[in-house]
């Protein structure tokens, strides 16, 4: 590895296993979309991606930016790679999209903000596919289906915005330098470009799953009155004993519409 110390605060675990790098490249969707990478790090994944497509990479770490600028001087000069020095979440706050045109997001994400990044990518209307390395435990949540024990607010949202969401393969700690403490997985999500999610829906879901093993009705009564809970349960034909992970995504969507309309 270059003479650089990985920074914990930026979630830096550099992917060094070339077999895994090849497998990520093989997982790239076969389409004409532009590519966006978040956190190119030392550029090992970037080097492989830029061979196939024009792309933009967002990196927050100043030290890495100067390494990347000299490593990819030719690609930057030829406009095949655009390197943007910023916190990607701030970029999303400013411009709502990471690219003005349909794109796929490919990244080995910093674990400390991986969930936020995926949720932001769901809201970004130009982002079609998401192929990201994240902590396995979080990948299981995003790919879980109703009745799975991992089914949570993240599974509901992923289910509602996507045509497909699944784990492609696992990656062990030995594939990185430095090694993370946890197992990682590559998560693949193909969004349904006709669907979009109301930002407050996520807050509503968090309340529904606040005590995941308790009855959903109990969690709901912290945001609406018990009378309204009973009314909506009757209208949607929900059993009083139902637990949050047993409710389908479409029922959550209907329940949210009722709660929202009830407030207006």
Ligand X SMILES: C[S@@+](CC[C@H](N)C(=O)[O-])C[C@H]1O[C@@H](n2cnc3c(N)ncnc32)[C@H](O)[C@@H]1O
Nearest to 118 by CA among 78, 75, 152, 89: 89
Near ligand X in 81-120, by CB under 6 A = 87-89, 108, 110, 113
| Distance in angstroms (rounded) separating the CA atoms of residues 243 and 29 | 36
| Distance in angstroms (rounded) separating the CA atoms of residues 163 and 192 | 5
At closest approach, how far in Å is the CB of 114 from ligand X? Answer: 9
Site size toward ligand X, by CB under 6 A: 24
- In the structure encoding, which two tokens stand for residue 221, read together? 């009564």
Nearest residue to ligand X on Cβ basis? 39
Q: Which is nearer to ligand X, 72 or 201 (CB)?
A: 72
Helix (H) or strand (E) holding 38: strand 34-38
- In the structure encoding, which two tokens stand for residue 151, read together? 């089914």
Near ligand X in 20-79, by CB under 6 A = 38-42, 44-45, 58-61, 64
Has 68 been labeled as part of a binding site? Answer: no
Helix (H) or strand (E) holding 127: strand 127-135
Helix (H) or strand (E) holding 234: helix 226-236
Question: If you ran DSSP here, which 8-state letter would residue 2 be given?
Answer: -
Q: Which is nearer to ligand X, 84 or 251 (CB)?
A: 84
Per-residue x/- track, 166-195, ligand X (CB under 6 A): ------------------------------
Has 155 been labeled as part of a binding site? Answer: no
Q: Is 10 in the site for ligand X (CB under 6 A)?
A: yes
Question: If you ran DSSP here, which 8-state letter would residue 83 be given?
Answer: E
Has 15 been labeled as part of a binding site? Answer: yes
**Helix/strand/coil (H, E, C) string of 55-79?**
EEEEECCHHHHHHHHHHCHHHHHCC
Q: Is 124 in the site for ligand X (CB under 6 A)?
A: no
Q: Which one of 8-16, 73-81, 137-145, 238-246 is the stretch in contact with ligand X (CB under 6 A)?
A: 8-16
Decide: helix, strand or coil at residue 260. Answer: helix
- Residue 189, strand partner residues: 130, 165
Q: Which is nearer to ligand X, 4 or 207 (CB)?
A: 4
Q: Which is nearer to ligand X, 41 or 244 (CB)?
A: 41
At closest approach, how far in Å is the CB of 254 from ligand X? Answer: 35
Query: Where does residue 57 rank: exposed (0-12), middle (13-18), buried (19+ CB within 10 A)?
Result: buried
Q: Which is nearer to ligand X, 19 or 241 (CB)?
A: 19
Nearest to 53 by CA among 73, 82, 23, 20: 82
* Residue carrying the six token digits 């059993």: 239
Q: Which is nearer to ligand X, 55 or 144 (CB)?
A: 55
At closest approach, how far in Å is the CB of 121 from ligand X? Answer: 13
Contact positions vs ligand X (CB under 6 A): 10-15, 38-42, 44-45, 58-61, 64, 87-89, 108, 110, 113
State the binding site for S-adenosyl-L-methionine: 13, 15, 39, 59, 87, 108
State the binding site: 13, 15, 39, 59, 87, 108
């Amino acid at each position: 590895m270059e003479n650089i110390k990985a920074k914990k605060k930026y979630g830096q675990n550099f992917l060094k296993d070339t077999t895994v790098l090849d497998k990520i490249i093989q997982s790239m969707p076969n389409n004409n979309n532009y590519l966006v990478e978040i956190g190119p790090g030392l550029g090992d994944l970037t080097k492989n991606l830029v061979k196939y497509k024009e792309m933009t990479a967002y990196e927050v770490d100043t030290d890495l930016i100067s390494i990347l600028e000299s490593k990819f001087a030719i690609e930057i000069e030829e406009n095949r790679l655009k390197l943007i020095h910023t916190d990607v979440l701030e970029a999303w706050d400013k411009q709502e999209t990471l690219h003005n045109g349909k794109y796929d997001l490919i990244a080995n994400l910093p674990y400390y903000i991986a969930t936020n990044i995926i949720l932001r990518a769901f809201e970004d209307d130009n982002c079609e596919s998401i192929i990201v390395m994240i902590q396995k435990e979080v990948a299981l949540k995003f790919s879980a289906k109703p009745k799975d024990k991992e089914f949570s607010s993240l599974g509901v949202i992923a289910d509602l915005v996507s045509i497909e969401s699944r784990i492609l393969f696992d990656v062990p700690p030995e594939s990185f330098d430095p090694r993370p403490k946890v197992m990682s997985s590559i998560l693949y999500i193909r969004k349904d470009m006709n669907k979009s999610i109301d930002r407050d829906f996520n807050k509503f879901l968090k309340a529904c799953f606040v005590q995941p093993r308790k009855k959903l009705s109990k969690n709901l009564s912290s945001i609406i009155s018990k009378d309204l809970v009973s009314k909506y349960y009757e209208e949607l034909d929900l059993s009083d004993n139902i637990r949050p992970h047993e409710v389908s995504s479409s029922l959550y969507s209907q329940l949210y519409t009722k709660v929202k309309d009830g407030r207006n």
